[in-house]
C-alpha cells in the first residue's frame, strides 16, 4: 500500500506542476511521492486538528520538502530546476510564501474532501 501511495503522490505532484508550469522534472515526482507518504503516515494526527491547522501543517510539510529538494537539485547539484529568487519573501530562491499559500489552499481542499466526505484512500 505504501508504494501505491508514493506512486500516486508522485503522479499527482508531477501533474500539478505540469498544469501550472507546463513542464516538470523527475525529482518533483519523487518529492510528491515522499510528501504523499508523509501525509499517509500523519493523516490520523492531522485529522485530529482543526481543518485550517491541518491545511497549514500540510502546506508547511510540502514547503519543507520543496526546500530540501531545491537545496539538493538547485543549490548543490546546480540543475536549475526552479528559481524563486525573484519572488518576494523567498528563501535562497527555493521556496516563497506565494507557493506555500497555494499548497495551503490545495491541502484545505484535500482535507475537506477526505475528512468531511468520509473518503478513505487507505
Domains in the chain, number: 1
Residue 107 in any domain: the answer is yes
Element (H, E) at 102: helix 97-116
Residue 42 in any domain: the answer is yes
Please name which of 108, 102, 110 lies closest in space to residue 84, comparing C-alpha atoms.
102
Contact, 29 vs 11, CB < 8 A?
yes
Residue 94 in any domain: the answer is yes
Residue 80 in any domain: the answer is yes
119: pLDDT strictly greater than 90: no
Q: What residue numbers bound the domain in which 11 lies?
A: 2-116
Alpha carbons 121 and 37: distance in angstroms, whole number: 12
Quote the pLDDT of residue 117.
76
113/60: higher pLDDT:
60
Residue 88 in any domain: the answer is yes
Close Cβ partners of 24 (under 8 Å, ≥ 6 residues apart): 14, 17, 18
pLDDT digits (tens, 9 = 90+) for 45-89: 998 999 999 999 999 999 999 999 999 999 999 999 999 999 999
Residue 121 in any domain: the answer is no
Close Cβ partners of 39 (under 8 Å, ≥ 6 residues apart): 9, 46, 58, 61
Confidence of residue 122 (pLDDT cuts 50, 70, 90): very low
Residue 41 in any domain: the answer is yes
Residue 122 in any domain: the answer is no
Amino acid at each position: 500500500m505504501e508504494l501505491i501511495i508514493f506512486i500516486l503522490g508522485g503522479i499527482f505532484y508531477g501533474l500539478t506542476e505540469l498544469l501550472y508550469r507546463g513542464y516538470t522534472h523527475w525529482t518533483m515526482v519523487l518529492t510528491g511521492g515522499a510528501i504523499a507518504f508523509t501525509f499517509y503516515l500523519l493523516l490520523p494526527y492531522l485529522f485530529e486538528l482543526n481543518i485550517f491547522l491541518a491545511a497549514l501543517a500540510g502546506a508547511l510539510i510540502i514547503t519543507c520538502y520543496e526546500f530540501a529538494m531545491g537545496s539538493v537539485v538547485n543549490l548543490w547539484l546546480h540543475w536549475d530546476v526552479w528559481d524563486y529568487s525573484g519572488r518576494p519573501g523567498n528563501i535562497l530562491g527555493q521556496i516563497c510564501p506565494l507557493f506555500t499559500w497555494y499548497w495551503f489552499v490545495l491541502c484545505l481542499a484535500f482535507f475537506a474532501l477526505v475528512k468531511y466526505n468520509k473518503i478513505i484512500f487507505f
